[in-house]
Amino acid sequence: MIKTILILCFFILSQSSYAFPINDLKPGGIATINVAPITQHKPRVSFETKPVALVKGKHNWLAIVGIPLSATAGFHKVKIVDEKKQTHYKSFRVRNYHYRTQRLRISNKNKVNPNKKSRARIQRESRLKQKLQNTFTPHQAHLNFMRPVSGRDSGRFGLKRILNKQKRNPHSGMDIAAPLGRSVKATETGTVLYTGNLFFTGNVVYLNHGNGLISLYAHLSKINVKKGQNIKRGQLIGKVGSTGRVTGPHLHWSVYLNGNTVDPALFLRKKHTKANPIKK
């Protein structure tokens, strides 16, 4: 009898509790917006012309919008096309946020001031990275993220970067310091979008979690998965390394939403919201 009740409770919990990232309206943050009542058909939502992830909340369709790091403070809006093909807009306000500065010394000077050959490679790879991070597949996004490796946080998302006394792009992910060879696990269920070796990020794995949600694992010493492979949450995908532009072994972990790199920490400090069961 008790066993039956326990199983029933577990069933109800697993069907009604759904993890969302923390709403944080800062540059590089996430805006969760009610876009239509659940009684209506799924609307189409876009932000800055790109499609946006949509999930079913308890009462509403929720858009999970990745805010670019370059976003200015103030009002921004999403475009909503409803079931009657009518267009309307919803706005949200991005707050001012000050990211700290990090100064690093990189011993491989070509990784800071690349030569002509390296610059050509960087350009090619930049186009590839844009394509990968803008991948949008229609299936429901998997949002219940876990930390991909244990270790100390050694570089937060968004830090303004000074490398060998020169200004560079802000930090596009979270760094986790861990010994060479430690297992790196998939943060959520997904499909391998790309594996390879890139100039700055070294050996990488990109995972597609659906609806424009992508995760990247960089500087790996070993890659254990292949392109197109279906991966379960927590599955081994590679080993911590120091390939690419690094000061030592660590995992660089990035998360992309509607093409924008967002703060991965927002997916770990998640809240559980009662939502309708996800239809597969």
Give me the residues that bind Zn ion (CB under 5 A), please.
Answer: 175, 252
CA distance 168 to 102: 10
Of the two residues 21 and 202, which places its CB atom closer to Zn ion in the complex?
202
The residue whose Cβ lies closest to Zn ion is 252
Nearest-approach distance from CB 245 to Zn ion, in angstroms: 9
Q: Is 203 exposed, middle or buried (0-12, 13-18, 19+ CB in 10 A)?
A: buried
CB of 255: closest distance to Zn ion in angstroms?
12
Rounded Cα–Cα distance for residues 245 and 275 (Å): 42
* Least distance in angstroms from the C-beta of 227 to Zn ion: 23
Our CB check for Zn ion shows the closer of 64 and 214 to be: 214
Closer residue to Zn ion in complex, CB, 143/163: 163
Please check whether residue 220 is in contact with residue 141, taking contact to mean a CB–CB distance below 8 angstroms. no
The span from the CA of 75 to the CA of 83, in Å, is 26
Measured CA distances, 88 to 49, 78, 81, 151, 155 (Å): 14, 9, 7, 45, 39
* Closer Cβ to Zn ion, 36 or 251, answer by number: 251
**Shortest distance in whole angstroms from residue 192 CB to Zn ion:** 21
Minimum Å gap between C-beta 218 and Zn ion is 7
Measuring CA to CA, which residue among 47, 27, 22 is closest to residue 134?
47
Between CA 39 and CA 23 the distance in angstroms is 24
Tell me whether residue 211 or residue 254 sits nearer to Zn ion (CB atom): 254
Task: Give min distance, CB of 142 to Zn ion, in A.
Answer: 23
Q: How do strand 160-163 and strand 101-104 relate by DSSP bridges? A: parallel
Helix (H) or strand (E) holding 265: helix 265-268
Whose Cβ is closer to Zn ion: residue 19's or residue 106's?
106
The first and second tokens of residue 258, run together, are: 């509607």
